[in-house]
A and B are shown apart, each in its own frame.
Chain A
Amino acid sequence: MTLWLAFSLMTAAAIFAVVWPLSRGARGRDVDTTEIYRDQLGEIGRDLAMHRIGEAEAHAARVEVSRRLLAAADAQQESTLQPGAALRHRRIAALAALVLLPLIAGGIYLLLGSPNMPGAPLAARLAVPPEQRSLASLVSQAEAHVERNAGDGRGWEVLAPVYLRMGRFDDAVRARKNALALNGETADRRADLGEALVAAGNGIVSVEAKAAFDGALALNPKHEKARFFIGLALQQDGRKAEAARTWQTLLDEAPPDAPWAATVRQALAELAVPAGSSSGPSAEDVAAASKLREGERNEMVRGMVARLAARMKDEPGDLDGWLRLIRAYTVLGEREQARAAAADARRALGNDRDKAQRIDDLVKALGLS
């Protein structure tokens, strides 16, 4: 309401600027153009007095300037102003101001503006009590803290797992790297970096990630997490037997109540090489395992998608996030959700034609439309 009031006041001010001179019937004396030539004549006189020009030049110059002065005086006589003339034009102008100005301004503004959207200054948004705030705002505060206190490696260590959980894998990598640089090398930190890298690489143990795990093992040859991922790397390289051996050793050396033992056993099972057995798996085993894997994988994917969807609420400007989300829903077979996400994305990115186009392209490519 205040907004519309302000708009109408502004419009009134604009109209006033048009109507005011019309109503005043401004007249006033026009400028005397001959004055410039008078000044030039004066200057010739000064130059002559200072001997900067000779008598003959001064005379010639005076003649020339005088001629211009007369011409200017003639022109002036012709173009005297008519203060009272042409009332009709003024009426048209006033009418234009009264009608066209609000029409044009209002029309264009309604086309482009977002009058219903309140402002969102950051300070006001951060003043909301913490328990009502979204995870994203807390993270952004933590980030601000870390940015200001560069030497504080602990901040990065706190942030890294949060990033990982939010699906911001690249940020997680950065946080892990900073923690490593600031707090010094330990096997744990190296392995954590590797883990973040794997997450960022969609589960692939890249060369860089492998280097991180190797680094961890160099510091502590018994480091469990590093050994687990080294096994994963072997598996992804197709060296299944070696992967199985690595994981088996890990299991054998594990304390009985190790919380991660289940994961390793699971991985071993997924290798489709039954733990402890040297004989090949039967066809049924493989089928069962792969079925199991299918279900589990979907479970995992669903969790990730849910996190991504939550994140997109906080960061609606992230095009890549939207694309990933739409794709993910489609992969899960939830086409309705995918369509809904695409609609959300278009709304959030509405102002950016290029990005909206990308969304539309994807929707078309996935056959959602």
Chain B
Amino acid sequence: MTRKQRRLVLIGAALGVLGLALALVLGALRDSIVFFQSPTDVAEGKVAPDKRLRLGGLVKDGSVKRNDLLIEFAVTDGNKDVPVSYRGIVPDLFREGQGVVVEGKLGAGGQFVADTVLAKHDENYMPREVADALKKSGRWKEGEGGKK
């Protein structure tokens, strides 16, 4: 093999691997990303059912109902509420009036069926998406929380 050929092989291999990586990234980005929505978006029907999404807001006061393993609650941005059902164990910091992010799909009848419930590690910390959603609905005042 000449020097030129060797170089071509190497460059070819490099391009091949990079191309593979690029194809994988693009493919995965199309299929596996999850959009973040506020309760208002969902309640106003901006979201197609059966599409995975993340919903963020506050757990509405007085809305948590537990029935064995099934937990039902409403996520609110102060404007609109979305009923959520979840089967399993919620994080320690899951509380009424606290920020929460749930991931799952919108089921029939407007009930959001979550398979993941995220609350933050720190009681002072508000998930940024939640803070933004609340800001949009005018329920958030700068400096009221969100950071320590």
Binding site for B on A (CB under 8 A): 354, 357-358
Contact = CB atoms under 8 A, between A and B. Distances in A.
Contacts of A357: 143
Contacts of B143: 354, 357-358
4 contacts: A354-B143, A354-B147, A357-B143, A358-B143
B120 to A, nearest CB: 20
B135 to A, nearest CB: 17
Contacts, number: 4
Contacts of B147: 354
A358 B147 CA distance: 14
A357 B144 CA distance: 12
Interface string B129-148: 00000000000000100010
Contacts of A354: 143, 147
Interface string B57-80: 000000000000000000000000
A337 B73 CA distance: 47
How many residues of B sit at the interface, in one of the four size bands?
under 10
A287 B147 CA distance: 48
Interface of A, secondary structure class, is helix
A165 B46 CA distance: 52
A185 B143 CA distance: 40
A354 B143 CA distance: 8
A357 B142 CA distance: 12
Nearest to B62: A207
A126 B147 CA distance: 32
A358 B145 CA distance: 12
A354 B147 CA distance: 10
B124 to A, nearest CB: 13
A361 to B, nearest CB: 8
A80 to B, nearest CB: 37
B141 to A, nearest CB: 11
A357 B143 CA distance: 10
B21 to A, nearest CB: 34
Nearest to A358: B143
A358 B143 CA distance: 8
Nearest to B147: A354
Give the top 4 A-B pairs by smallest Cβ distance, nearest first: A358-B143, A354-B143, A357-B143, A354-B147
B26 to A, nearest CB: 42
Nearest to A319: B143
A150 to B, nearest CB: 19
B128 to A, nearest CB: 17
Nearest to B148: A354
Contacts of A358: 143
A240 to B, nearest CB: 28
Nearest to A354: B143
A354 B142 CA distance: 11
A25 to B, nearest CB: 51
A137 B65 CA distance: 42
Nearest to A352: B148
A102 to B, nearest CB: 36
Interface in B27-86: none
A357 B147 CA distance: 15
Nearest to A357: B143
A346 to B, nearest CB: 16
Nearest to B144: A358
Nearest to A355: B143
Nearest to A207: B62
Interface in B102-148: 143, 147
A345 to B, nearest CB: 15
A322 to B, nearest CB: 14
B134 to A, nearest CB: 19
A219 to B, nearest CB: 25
B12 to A, nearest CB: 26
